[in-house]
Amino acid sequence: MTPSERRLFLEKFAAEQHTAAEHRAFVQWLRQASAQEMTAALEDYERQYSPKRPAAPTPQLMAKIEARLDQSAPRAATSVPVTRPLWPRIFAAAAAVVALLVLLGGNFLARTKSFKAVPLVYLHKRVPAGHTDSLTLADGSVVVLNERSTFTYPAQFAAHRRDVYLEGEAYFRVTKNSRRPFVIHTGSLQTRVVGTSFNVYAYPRAARQEVTVLTGKVVISHPFDNQKVTLLPAQHAVFDRASRSLRAAVVGNPALSLAWRRGQLRFEDAPLDEVLDKVSIRYGVAIRARAPRLHRCRVTVRFGTESVAEVVQVLAALTHSRPRTDSQHTIWLEGPGSS
């Protein structure tokens, strides 16, 4: 079960819209998941649905939870691989992992048998390199997707929330509905809005995620360590994946974040590392700066239909560096760098 499939199941489970087959698949995954995977599942559940964390369990409680899971997902008659007992693996991981089973395990069977809601049907939109695409969601919200992006969304939204999932870059114009918040999930970040327009940059391979607001108000949160920022028009938030830091700042020209809709990359006094990161994503190659002084360079530049070789030459000229390609096909800018 992939992280995206796991998050979708937990969302359906909380809304009592999961199917019996989905429930069995999750229980089977839970039996064989590593402690790290179960901790990640707990974080997914807690940051959206859990009101509080239960106390640390006893071995007796763990045995009881295992029995509940056994009852809720009967084994088939065919043989299955032998795995280690469930409770020692979980008990050794942490009380947080057990919390997931306490939250979910005791209710699996009852919910699976009793719910009558229509299951959410999720659709997937993937945009290849060199293209953009747009779609209108069930609530009338408009989403424009940049190249190399993947967007997952329900055909019809749940009663109380509008949850979607993005890997890549997209412009959103969200239909206002104060009773049903619109939440974009991008890795470990959540962007929550009621009705507004904004741009989200969240490619999985990028070193940073960005949200730039054009109209309305947006709340970005990183629930794992309780970071949260609120953005107004002409502001943006940047989440650095390496340092796990989330910060907000005023944007001089918010329209720059939408240059991709015209097939452009535009930067005004931007750090070279940010420029290289976004150019690398666009062209599907790794471009890095090697000299320490290069990391302090700031660049103002616009790219349109140039080839990757032309882009590299322009950046090398701007930063007084020399490009070199290594055996792994990574392009390095080497040299003293600009002052």
Domains and their CATH numbers in the chain: 3-114 (no CATH), 122-256 (2.60.120.1440), 264-334 (3.55.50.30)
Average pLDDT, rounded, for the chain? 80
Residue 205: is its pLDDT beyond 50? yes
Q: Higher pLDDT residue, 91 or 46?
A: 46
More confident residue, 137 or 6: 137
Reported confidence tier of residue 80, pLDDT bands at 50, 70, 90: very low
3-state secondary structure of 127: coil
Check pLDDT > 80 for residue 161: yes
Burial 154-190 (b: 16+ CB within 10 A, else e): beebbeebbbbbbbbbbbbbbbeeeebbbbbbbbbbb
Q: What is the pLDDT of residue 78?
A: 37
Model confidence at 16, in pLDDT bands (50, 70, 90)?
low
Q: Is the pLDDT of residue 168 over 60?
A: yes
CA distance 28 to 284: 36
Q: Residues with Cβ < 8 Å from 272, sequence gap 6 or more?
A: 289, 294, 295, 296, 297, 298, 299, 315, 319
Report the C-alpha gap between 290 and 171 in whole angstroms. 33
Give the whole-angstrom CA distance, residue 53 versus residue 158.
25
17-31, 49-63, 163-177, 199-213: least confidently modelled range: 49-63
The pLDDT value recorded for residue 118 is 60
Mean pLDDT on 256-272: 94
Residue 270: helix, strand or coil by DSSP?
A: strand
- Greatest mean pLDDT among 4-18, 102-116, 155-169 lies in 155-169
Report the alpha-carbon distance of residue 202 to residue 189 in Å, rounded: 9
Sign of CA dihedral 230, 235, 240, 245: negative
Say what percent of the chain tops pLDDT 90. Answer: 54
**pLDDT of 194:** 85
Query: What's the whole-number mean pLDDT along residues 167-175?
Result: 97
Query: CA nearest 191: which of 217, 215, 225?
Result: 217
Residue 74 pLDDT exceeds 60: no
- What local confidence, expressed as pLDDT, does residue 50 receive? 43
- CA quadruple 310, 169, 246, 233: dihedral, nearest 10: 100
- Of these ranges, 98-102, 103-107, 114-118, 231-235, the one predicted with the greatest mean pLDDT is 231-235
Q: Residue 73 gets which letter from DSSP?
A: S
Highest mean pLDDT among 71-75, 117-121, 175-179: 175-179
Greater confidence (3 vs 77) lies with 3
C-alpha closest to that of 278 among 202, 188, 335, 211: 202
Residues 6+ apart with CB under 8 A from 120: 11, 12, 15, 17, 154, 155, 156, 158
Three-state DSSP state, 232: coil
Q: Is the pLDDT of residue 85 over 50?
A: no
Nearest to 91 by CA among 116, 62, 49: 62
